[in-house]
Amino acid sequence: MNDTECIFCKIARGELPAEKVYEDADTVAFLDIKPVNPGHTLIIPKAHYVNIFEAPEETLAKMMHTIKVVSHGIKDGLGIDNMNIGMNNGADSGQVVFHAHIHLMPRHKDDGYGLWHGKPYEPGQAHEVAEKIKKAL
């Protein structure tokens, strides 16, 4: 998909409506149309990158600045003291729109949502995995 077909690019360019809560020269923040809880906001770069692997470090840093600004707006404006921040990268991780985006998800006690379930490493597996990652860096 290119930026002329991408729904998030169209939102960034103002071609599709969205409830924008913040915008600067490089990023846009708007409410998710199917929120986990009210205030669930997406942060996107205006430039089209599919995911974290494509987006330049500078773009990710600009997105993080926007996350900091908007998270305070959610906290102060909605009285939210708990929030998950997440980014899905690839279809198997749950990415549906293939334009890099980060979710700010307000959370409340007993909101019915949980976290993913972890499982322990097999003996020696953690060291093996860590070595593979370090070797690839």
Answer whether residue 1 shows pLDDT above 70. Answer: no
Note whether residue 2 is domain-resident. no
Contact 60, 87 (CB under 8 A): no
For residue range 46-68, what is the model confidence (pLDDT) as tens digits? Answer: 999 999 999 999 999 999 999 99
What are the φ and ψ backbone dihedral angles of 117, each rounded to 5 degrees? -95, 125
For residue range 24-35, what is the model confidence (pLDDT) as tens digits? Answer: 999 999 999 999
Q: Kindly report which listed range (17-21, 33-37, 49-53, 112-116) carries the lowest average pLDDT score.
A: 112-116
d(CA 59, CA 103): 16
Query: How many domains are contained in the chain?
Result: 1
Q: State which residues form the domain around 22.
A: 7-136
Please give the structure tokens belonging to residue 8.
């998030």
Answer whether residue 43 shows pLDDT above 90. Answer: yes
Which residues are known catalytic residues? 101
State residue 59's pLDDT score: 98
How far, in Å, are 17, 30, 31, 71, 94 from residue 14 at the CA level?
7, 12, 14, 23, 26
Note whether residue 76 is domain-resident. yes
- CATH code at 113? 3.30.428.10
State residue 78's pLDDT score: 97
Contact 16, 30 (CB under 8 A): no
Note whether residue 1 is domain-resident. no
Check: pTM over 0.85? Answer yes or no.
yes
Note whether residue 106 is domain-resident. yes
Contact 31, 39 (CB under 8 A): yes
